[in-house]
Amino acid sequence: MGYIRISAITWVTPPSSAKVSTIKHRLTSDPDVPGSYTTDSTTTSIEVSGDIIPDVDILGLADETSYTVKINSNCGGASATQVFTTGIVCPDVSGIAGTGNAGAP
């Protein structure tokens, strides 16, 4: 089985304090419609630096499969999305730093 570890984001405008956010994922091949995302966390704290403490692991994913991860601040504002493929280390693109991994964390 694969997993994705989300460790940090890059803020467009850094907030003055940590923000509680929601992290969701879906198969990239699925349509981006309401209800297509699985919620992984609704209480993730993202620091002013962009660090997610602790890292969020999305477990039980298929190996070598692409997933779209979406992060929303619970106080509103724009969301960030990034595609990760399990089993491949992915670069930081679109402001979300993380890796797609095979095996257990």
Residue 23: is its pLDDT beyond 90? Answer: yes
- Cis geometry, peptide bond prior to residue 31 (ω within 30 degrees of 0): no
What residues make up the domain containing 9?
A: 2-102
- Counting Cα atoms < 13 Å in the Cβ hemisphere of 83 gives 9
pLDDT of residue 84 exceeding 90, the answer is no
Find where tokens 């509103």 sit: 76
Instruction: State the total domains in the chain.
Output: 1
Q: What CATH number is given to the structural domain containing 36?
A: 2.60.40.10
pTM given for the model: 0.79
Residue 13, C-beta contacts closer than 8 angstroms, at least 6 positions apart: none
Is the confidence at residue 63, as pLDDT, over 90? no
Most confident by average pLDDT, 56-70, 73-87, 89-103: 56-70
- When pLDDT is averaged across residues 24-38 and rounded to a whole number, the result is 88
Q: Which residues, listed in sequence order, are joined to residue 99 by a DSSP beta bridge?
A: 5
